[in-house]
A and B are shown apart, each in its own frame.
Chain A
Amino acid sequence: MNQNKIIITIISAFVIILVLTQSFYTVSEMEQVVVTQFGKPVGEPITTPGLKIKVPFIQKANFFDKRYLEWDGDPNQVPTKNKKFIFVDTFARWHITDPLQFYKRLTNERGAQSRLDDLLDGETRDNVASHDLVELVRNTNRQAAQTDKISEMIDDSLQDIQIGRAKIQKNILEKANNEAADLGITILDFRFKRLNYVEDVRKRVYDRMNSERYRIADKFRSEGQGEASRINGQKERDLNEIQSQAFKEAEKIKGGADGRAAAIYAEAYNKSSQTRDFYEFRKTMETFQKTFDSSTTVIFSNDSELYKYLQKMD
């Protein structure tokens, strides 16, 4: 009797708890719910968080994420329009905007991821294949800044683009969203994460970069030698110019002085026949003084002016 009572109490408590847990459920901030009755959706999807009620056992709450969800593309090897093979790694963010539709079309997130793979990978492939590599890499027609000698030397410039990365991303996003319109999802954003050359193209790019750099190095070296030779030549030129200029100047000055001295002498000595005479006489005397010394032997005639009195007095 007593034991039966306990058993009944336990069973009824269990039933009450079961009914309660089947009737109430909580929806968190990150979730939304579609209530189904024997698999058939009932009413509007529940998108606000809180404690909710449903008919126990008959109705079932199907939870879906409400947050922005990840999608990461499989790194794909795709040829561009100009036949460059590149790896393209993409990502997207999406969310379930219509859980009912989502539930009907895709059942769960795995289904959605697989559809997104088809849509986005396909669009990526199409878009990459219909554009040149530079259109995928560049975003704007920004002009390259001449950073230093090196960039000047290789004439650093960026190829202009018609479309650009942002527009291609947007194009893929729009097309994929159009196709995903009836899936109950919206792709929020799509971007190229990584673009890179495939291995053997990369090798060729490295070869090109190498040859370009060595070309610059050679040019630097030859410029250095050229500049050094130029300076050397200028040194010789300047040296000759300076020396000859100085010589010219000095000779001019000396010549001018000589001329002036000659004029001064001429003016004084050439006044009359008397001055000429006197000058000649003085100069002769002076020359005697300057040129005669102890090693000089002089032979005078005794009829000379000096010794004429040796012969006879008048």
Chain B
Amino acid sequence: MANNQSYEIDIEELLKKHYKKVIAGVVVLLLVFDAFFQIDPEEVGVITRFGTHVRTVDPGLKTKIPYLETVYKVAVERQMKQEFGFRTQDPDVRTRYARNSNAKDESLMLTGDLNLANVEWVVQYRIDKPHNYLFRVRNADNTLRAISEAAMRQVVGDRTVNEVLTVGRAEVAGKVKVIVQETARDYSLGIQIAQVVLQDVNPPEPVKQAFNAVNEAQQEKETLINEAKSAYNKVIPRARGEAEETIQKAEGYATKRVNNAQGDVARFNSVYKEYARAPQVTKRRIYLETMQEILPQLGDKIIKPGEGDNMIPLLNMQLNKNK
């Protein structure tokens, strides 16, 4: 107890003795703490003295006049993004997204043919003029959101729902980027648009099924046509081949027919030449030679008297018996 008492007295006495030094020390510490500051690699520091923007400093350990100068840190190198029609809930390798009713209102828009489409997109941007970003506009990020929504609807409003859903995607994103960039410059937002990227572009939920039905019907049509074509291709080339075959065969027949005729005639002519020399003898010779040749091959040979026609029935009987 006594010890403690003496310790307290010690401090009081010390303070009484050195209070000027203590105050000076605290003041110096406060000044030093406010004089030094750090700017991170993606930032710049905008420094104002009595409210006036006097200089901009790059990353590193920097100094300023304590209390009379104020520093605003602006992340100029950081790529920022705004999402329209959805919100990234959990960015990861496999990112999850949320689509609440507020986000849905952002994405549902009228197309030029007065239909509706759901367009989701992302605007990526950087702060390129920190002075404008800080001092020229209140709430620059919010303003950018409004500009982007208006620009997207302006561009989509000049296109049909088919264009927006199919080929127009890249064109739409490009046009929106130009409009947003121009408007951001007019508004002195100090923001540079890096990219406008269209995400899902879909027909609204209640008409999705009908849009799918069209795709299915288109497939069905292709299938029907392909099947018919395949049936055609199965039959026609074969028929062409067969036709070719028929014609080739006919050509073959024709050649053969003519050649045969020429052969026959050549043979006839040469035989005739001999015949013309001695017609009677040759004729007889040919006749007898032919008979000699064919008679041995014949079955029954019957020789009857010149006027014996009445024996024919008898012959019939014998022939039947032989069978």
Write the residues of chain A forming the contact surface with B, with a CB cutoff of 8 angstroms: 26-31, 48-51, 65, 67-70, 72, 91, 93, 133-134, 137-140, 142, 144-145, 147-151, 154, 156-159, 165-166, 188-189, 191-197, 202-203, 205-206, 209-210, 212-214, 216-221, 223-225, 227-232, 234-235, 238-239, 242-243, 245-247, 249-254, 256-258, 260-262, 264-265, 267-269, 274-275, 278-279, 281-282, 285, 288-289, 292-303, 305-307, 310-311
Q: For the complex, what is the distance from the CA of A61 to the CA of B148, rounded to whole Å? A: 38
- The reply to whether B162 and A156 form a contact with Cβ atoms under 8 Å apart is yes
**The residue from B138, B150, B250 contacting A249, defined by CB atoms under 8 A apart:** B250
Q: Is the interface of A mostly helix, strand, loop or mixed?
A: helix
User: Please, how many angstroms separate the alpha-carbon atoms of A154 and B146 in the complex?
Assistant: 34
**In this complex, what residue of A is CB-closest to B226?**
A228
Surface stretch bound by A, among B18-26, B31-39, B90-98, B258-266: B258-266
Scan B284-323; emit 1 where CB is below 8 A from any A CB, else 0: 0011101101100111111111100000100100010000
Query: When the two chains form their complex, are residues A231 and B157 in contact, meaning their CB atoms are under 8 A apart?
Result: no
Contacts of A29 in B (CB 8 A): 48, 51-53, 131, 134-135
Who on chain B is nearest to A209 by CB? B207
Instruction: Specify which chain B residues have a CB less than 8 angstroms from the CB of A247 in the assembled complex.
Output: 246
- Interface centre among A137, A214, A288, A296, by most chain B C-beta atoms within 10 angstroms, is A137
Chain B: residues with CB nearer than 8 A to chain A?
Answer: 48, 50-53, 105-106, 108-116, 131, 134-139, 142-143, 146-147, 149-150, 153-154, 157-163, 166-168, 183, 186-188, 203-204, 206-207, 209-211, 213-214, 216-218, 220-225, 227-229, 231-232, 235-236, 239-240, 242-244, 246-247, 249-251, 253-255, 257-258, 260-262, 264-265, 268-269, 271-272, 275-276, 279, 283, 286-288, 290-291, 293-294, 297-306, 312, 315, 319
Given contacts A205-B115, A206-B207, A209-B207, 9 further A-B pairs with CB under 8 A are A144-B160, A206-B206, A220-B218, A229-B228, A235-B228, A238-B236, A242-B239, A278-B279, A288-B294
* Chain B positions within 8 Å of A72 at CB level: 146
Minimum CB distance partner of A152 in chain B: B162
Interface of B is mostly: helix
Contact B150 A91 (CB under 8 A): yes
